[in-house]
Structure formats: C-alpha cells, structure tokens
Structure 1
Amino acid sequence: MDLHMHGLDDHFTLPQTDKVSASRPLEWLKLGWQDFRQHPLPSLGYGLLIAIAGWLVLAVASNYTYLTSTSITGFMLLAPLGAAGIYELTSERQEGRPTSFAQSLHDLLKNLGQIAFMGVVLGSVAIGWERVSCILFALFYGGEAVNLHFFWTALLGEYWMFTAAWIFGGFVLACLTFALTAVSIPMLADREVDVVTAMMTSLRVVMENLPAMIVWAAIIVALTAIGFATGLLGLIVLFPLLGHATWIAYKELVH
C-alpha cells in the first residue's frame, strides 16, 4: 500500500526507505533469533533488566489496582528504549568489533542526548495517558472502588461504553506510538540524527509498508503478551529477540 508519504521530504531531510512484502516480518524474527544466538549473554542481560523493571512497575501498581492497566501501557511505551543497547550489540558485530554488554552501553553515548529526549517524549505520553485514564475512571466510576474484577465485569455491565471507549483510546494511542517509534529508536542508536527526523522516517516507513507493519505489530503484541503471561520471565528471552529483529527490520527498511 503506497500512501505517498514522500511529502515529508518537503519539511524534513529523510533517508531513503524501502518497501517489503507483508510476510517479511517473519523473516525478521528468524534473522533476529540468529543474531541473538551470536551474543546471547549480553542480550539476555538486557532482557533481565527489562523483566526486573516490569516486576517493579507491577509491584507498585498492585497497590493501586486502578493503575494496573495504565502502568502496563506505560511499561510497553518505554520498554523499547531498553533495546537501544541491543542495537549496539548487533552494530558492533556487523562492524567486526568486540561485543559486550559494557561496550554496547558505551557506544550509546554517541547519540545519548537524542535517545534520552525520545525517552522524555515517550514518558510524557505514558504520563499523559495515565492522567487521562485516572480522570476518566473517576468520572465514570463515580468514586467506586475499582479493582480488576470490577473493571472487567463493567465491560458487559453498566460501564461498558466507557470501557469500550477507553480501550479504543488506548488502541489509537498505541498505533500512533508504534508508527512514530517502529524504526526511530534503532535509527537514533545507529545515526547522529534528531528525534523528529527519526520519528518522521518511522512514520513514512510504516505508512509505506502498512501490511507488513501490521503483521510486525501483531507479532510484537503476541510475544509481549506471552512475556506477561509467563510472569515476565519470558521477556528475558523475547525482549532481546524482538530487539535484534527490530534492528534487522530497520537496516532493511532505512538506508
């Protein structure tokens, strides 16, 4: 599907982008696994850090049940930043340099300012969504004690319209965030570019490869769901796998 996103070049200096078939994400995942096996220990180190961060987030949210869903959303928004080090691992190997966890962290310094700014952007989105969710819960639930059982019961009960609207709002936010970050974070790790250029490149890549990116987003959601279903233990492996696959997708789509 060609949505003619080249008009972005009138306002931004963007790199060349390519188009791929809808089945290509499956190959990214396969190649990502092969890449993961080239340096498993440092990759697993990043996976473990993300799992620990997730456990801490859920531990805090467990004391405030109305924050559980929004904290998970915020975690998923910010977690991709943790893959920046994984992108450096692959870059080091492709350039014939020694790979290690410490070296990948050091290499992040070359564009750390813009990566950190991306973190501020994503963090602001997460905080904004959390605030909106809290306000909506307060307005629609009328001060009732909200727990997870009450929330999901409300889906088919008195508050089903609110619940449907809330889920739809989260879906729209997730789609927009995915479009702006699909390849922007590996691009920031790979090149000395600014956040806006990286996000606009990502937007063009997604819109010009919509079928493939829908498949890719579905794979990410499915594997992340498996990670949560296993008490985040699965993310120790699945997170770096997705990181390596995302790097491969970026290098194939952006030149």
Structure 2
Amino acid sequence: MVLRPLGLGAPLRWLTLGLRDLARAPAVGLFYGAGFWLMAAVLGWVFRTQPEYTMSLASGCLLLGPFLALGLYDASRRHEAGQAAHLGQSLVCWRSHMGSMGMLVLVLIVLELLWGRASLVVFAVFFNTGLPSTTGVMQAVFNPENWEFVAVYTLVGGVFAALVFASTVVSIPMILDRDTDAMTAAITSMRVVVENPGVMLWWGALITLLVGLSLWPWGAGLLVTGPLLGHASWHAYRAALEPQEPVPSE
C-alpha cells in the first residue's frame, strides 16, 4: 500500500467533506447518529451507577463505534462514485467482508478485554477512598487523595485508546473499499499513524474535542457529530492512501 503525506490542514478538510456527505443523506446520518447517542447514554448510566466499569464499557464503545460507522463509510463511498446513498444498502454493506471484519473484531476484542482488566486493576490498586457512591462519583474520583488514581487511569486509558485509534483509523474503510485482510488493514492503519504522527494526533484531538462537546447536554450532539465524524473518517482514509490500481484486463 502506498501512503500519501498528509498536511496539518487535512483533518479540517475531512470534516468539511464529511459535512457535505451528511447533508446529502441526512436520514442515513440520523439513524447512525441515534446509535452513537444510545452508546453515550448507556456509558453515562454506567458511569453514574458502576463507575469502576466505565473504562471497560468505553473500550467496548470504541470497539463498536467504528463498525457502526461502516454504514457511513458506505454512504460516503457511494457519494464519491456519484451514486445515491440509502439506509438499506448501508446496513448490509458488511456482508461481503465478513471474514476480514470478523478477524479485526477479534483483535479489537482482545484489546478491549486487556483494557477492561487493566482498568479494574487500576481501581483496586490506586483508588484510596473506596468505590464512589452513585451520588458522588465526580467528587470521589477527583478527591485530592486519588490523584495517583486519576493519573494512572488516564495514562492506561490513553495507551489503549491510542492502540485502538491507530489500528482502526483507516483499516475499516480500507476493508470495505479494497476487501483487504484484517492484518494488512490494521498494519497499514498503524503505518499511517506512524508516518503522519502530528496530523493523526491533531485528528485524534479533534475527534476527542467534538465528541466531548457533543456529550452536553445529554449526549444529544452525537446525533450530528457521530455521523459527521464517520463520513470524515472515510475521507481521511481516501487522503491517506493512494487509489487502488485497477486490475489490467487480459
């Protein structure tokens, strides 16, 4: 796979193109946006009731999110080809890629399980004031006595989030577009991150910022931000890799 160099202005261009795709098929975007909103609602409920499992569920959301965005990638691909995007088509676009997608799911599940186990260990070792109650989660977590917990929890979460991000930033749209095997797609995705660290860090920061802003109030902003980022991620993939050469006819 031949990679393209990326400039720091590229992520803003991807967002602009993603917004254009969202405007072209708003019904498709709203459907998947509702899925992102539902994930955020469940994550918020777990944070309030069982905060020690928040990191585990967050890893699960990071696992499910890219696959939920698969339908958005399909819509953007159809727009790029001058075709109309339909919800029904987006819901079944994975059928011809089940082998590769299944293998990538297994890899990400392993990361998720390791992340969840690590988060529980961090809670057990570093949380000094007892598990927080449902009425005082934020007060307990940010108690000055728990500063070591906050630091280690953030560090561990950041490492696993970076691994998930690096392995999926272009791998899933690549599988959809080129029917590549999972390992090749994941390795190519990591190569994109390694060869464009500044741009990918900026892209990851933009994603984090937009998602964070969308969580207030009640995560409703994800109805728009979720599909916007999904469409934009397709354009990130297209910008990062040279187009596939057509197979010569015999």
Question: TM bucket by the smaller chain?
Answer: 0.7 to 0.9
C-alpha deviations, 1:11-67, integer Å up to 9, x for none? xxxx11100111211111111111211111111111112212332343345331222
Which of 136, 142, 164 is residue 151 of structure 2 equivalent to? Answer: 164
Report deviation, 1:118. Answer: 2.2
Match of residue 218 from structure 2: 231
Identity %: 32
Task: Return the letter of the residue paired with 2:70.
Answer: A
> Would the aligned equivalents of 1:111 and 1:191 in 2 still touch at CA under 8 Å?
no
Q: Supply the distance in 1 between the matched residues of 2:63 and 2:213 (Cα, whole angstroms).
A: 17
Match of residue 213 from structure 1: 200
Q: How does 1:37-76 map to 2 (within 5 A)?
A: 37-76=23-62
C-alpha deviations, 1:69-115, integer Å up to 9, x for none? 44234323431221011001111222344421111122221112322
Which of 19, 38, 49 is residue 33 of structure 1 equivalent to? Answer: 19
> Would the aligned equivalents of 1:62 and 1:68 in 2 still touch at CA under 8 Å?
no
> Would the aligned equivalents of 2:55 and 2:115 in 1 still touch at CA under 8 Å?
no
Match of residue 187 from structure 1: 174
Task: Return the letter of the residue paired with 1:180.
Answer: S
Distance 1:60 1:215, change over 3 A: closer
Task: Return the letter of the residue paired with 1:152.
Answer: F
Distance 1:163 1:59, change over 3 A: closer
> Would the aligned equivalents of 1:205 and 1:253 in 2 still touch at CA under 8 Å?
yes
User: Any idea what SS the aligned residue of 2:219 has?
Assistant: coil
Q: Supply the distance in 2 between the matched residues of 1:139 and 1:214 (Cα, whole angstroms).
A: 30
Q: Supply the distance in 2 between the matched residues of 1:68 and 1:137 (Cα, whole angstroms).
A: 11
User: Any idea what SS the aligned residue of 1:146 has?
Assistant: coil
> Would the aligned equivalents of 1:42 and 1:101 in 2 still touch at CA under 8 Å?
yes
Are 2:106 and 1:134 aligned? Answer: no
Which of 101, 108, 114 is residue 122 of structure 1 equivalent to? Answer: 108
Task: Return the letter of the residue paired with 1:196.
Answer: M
Report deviation, 1:128. Answer: 2.1
Question: Structure 2 length as normaliser, TM-score?
Answer: 0.87
Which of 95, 113, 117 is residue 109 of structure 1 equivalent to? Answer: 95
User: Any idea what SS the aligned residue of 2:142 has?
Assistant: helix
Moved more, 51-60 or 184-193: 51-60
Task: Return the letter of the residue paired with 1:19.
Answer: P
> Would the aligned equivalents of 2:168 and 2:186 in 1 still touch at CA under 8 Å?
yes
Match of residue 242 from structure 1: 229
Report deviation, 1:226. Answer: 1.3
User: Any idea what SS the aligned residue of 1:229 has?
Assistant: coil
Which of 114, 135, 141 is residue 151 of structure 1 equivalent to? Answer: 141
> Would the aligned equivalents of 1:61 and 1:68 in 2 still touch at CA under 8 Å?
yes
